[in-house]
Amino acid sequence: MTRRAIFSTALLFGVSAAVSTAQEGFPLAGTWHGTWGPNATERHDITLVILWDGKTITGLINPGPDSGHLQNTTLDPDQWMVHLEGDPKDSKGARVKVVADEKLQNITNRRRFVTGTWTQGSVKGDFKITRDD
């Protein structure tokens, strides 16, 4: 093998490795877990599954029999601000409106997180969710 062929092969592998690690994909896509609540002692577990099809952000709040679909979800990439709405079921099985406004933080980390305000029905509180690996 000539030096040129060896150099070209090494360069090809190097570029391939850089491209495969440089872009992880849409920063919100994935499964997120955390809690929300009106104060430090009253907390509720939440799970979000967020999907991105190249145009639209979709997904579920608390996947399972009481889940709700994400609606009106937007991302402002300049500020990394996210707005989402959903309609999961409450403890009595009735649909309840959820509105969350949040900031995506630590974006370059695989374990990035989101913090903000969460309003479920008439109860407003703070929340924090972290993306699963």
Using 50 as the pLDDT threshold, list the residues of the chain that sit under it: 5-23
**Residue 9, in any domain of the structure:** no
**Residue 4, in any domain of the structure:** no
Residue 24 pLDDT: 55
**Residue 11, in any domain of the structure:** no
State the pTM of this model: 0.77
Contacts made by residues 100-103, CB under 8 angstroms, sequence distance 24+: 100/127, 102/127, 103/79
Buried b (16+ CB within 10 A) or exposed e, 88-127: bbeeeeeebebebebebeeeeeeebbbebebbbeeeebbb
Domains: count for the chain: 1
Domain range holding 109? 26-131
CATH code of 34's domain: 2.40.128
How does pLDDT run across 74-94, given as a tens digit for each residue? 999 899 999 999 999 988 899
Residue 31 pLDDT: 95
**Residue 33, in any domain of the structure:** yes
